[in-house]
């Protein structure tokens, strides 16, 4: 059985994207914006080349081997975010009471959900844009984690309790993810 001496995952850097590494902080700047993230582990390192970023681990154990793939996926998401951005589309579904949604400051306010008198609120994370048009909610941003968490916050704000979910299917649900 061969011994894995070195694990290395490379991520290509497209034209117009600048990548810099200072201590444990990786910064990626592209046409849509700038992202920064700390990567710190004693046995896994990131090396920035001219046309690629390499995530390397020498003599990896099981956890370090898995961590190299995870970090490579994070770096790839950061590069995709500053180049293309991320977009989630959500659909407002109601059959009993018409739901009214609006964006106020850093919250999505959901009014008249199941005929409730008090509005429900879903927090919007920083650097994320939320647009409501008709029965569609569009969430865009360059950080996939912030965009996904904002969509999850909206979905959880319309979670139904004490009703039969087969009958009351009202809510705001993710219908499309675009990377």
Q: Which two tokens stand for residue 95?
A: 């059959």
pLDDT tens digits for 15-26?
999 999 999 999
pLDDT of residue 3: 59
Identical fold between 6-83 and 86-178: yes
pLDDT tens digits for 129-148?
999 999 999 999 999 999 99
CATH fold, domain 6-83, is Outer Surface Protein A; domain 3 (3.90.930)
pLDDT tens digits for 65-123?
999 999 999 999 999 999 999 999 999 999 889 999 999 999 999 999 999 999 999 99
DSSP string, the chain: -----EEEEEEEPPTT-EEEEETTEEEEEETTEEEEEE---TTEEEEE-SSEEEEEEES--HHHHHHHHHHHHHHHHHHHHHHT-EEEEEEEE-SSS--EEEEETTEEEEESGGG-SSPEEEE--TTEEEEEETTEEEEEES-HHHHHHHHHHHHHHT---SS-TTT---EEEEEEEE-
Question: pTM for the whole thing?
Answer: 0.90
CATH class of the domain whose range is 86-178: alpha beta
Do the Cβ atoms of 155 and 110 come closer than 8 Å? no
Q: For the chain, what are the domain ranges? A: 6-83, 86-178
């Amino acid at each position: 059985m061969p011994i894995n001496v070195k694990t290395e995952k490379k991520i290509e850097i497209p034209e117009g994207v600048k990548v810099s590494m200072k201590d444990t902080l990786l910064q990626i700047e592209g046409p849509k914006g700038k992202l920064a993230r700390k990567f710190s582990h004693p046995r896994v390192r990131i090396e920035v080349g001219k046309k690629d970023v390499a995530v390397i681990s020498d003599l990896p154990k099981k956890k370090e081997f898995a961590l190299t793939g995870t970090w490579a996926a994070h770096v790839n998401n950061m590069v995709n975010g500053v180049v293309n951005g991320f977009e989630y589309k959500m659909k407002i579904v109601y059959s009993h009471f018409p739901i009214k949604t609006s964006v106020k400051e850093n919250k999505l306010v959901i009014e008249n959900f199941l005929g409730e008198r008090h509005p429900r609120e879903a927090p919007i994370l920083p650097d994320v844009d939320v647009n409501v048009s008709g029965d569609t909610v569009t969430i865009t941003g360059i950080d996939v984690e912030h965009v996904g968490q904002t969509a999850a916050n909206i979905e959880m704000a319309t979670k139904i309790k004490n009703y039969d979910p087969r009958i009351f299917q009202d809510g705001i649900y993710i219908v499309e993810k675009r990377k």
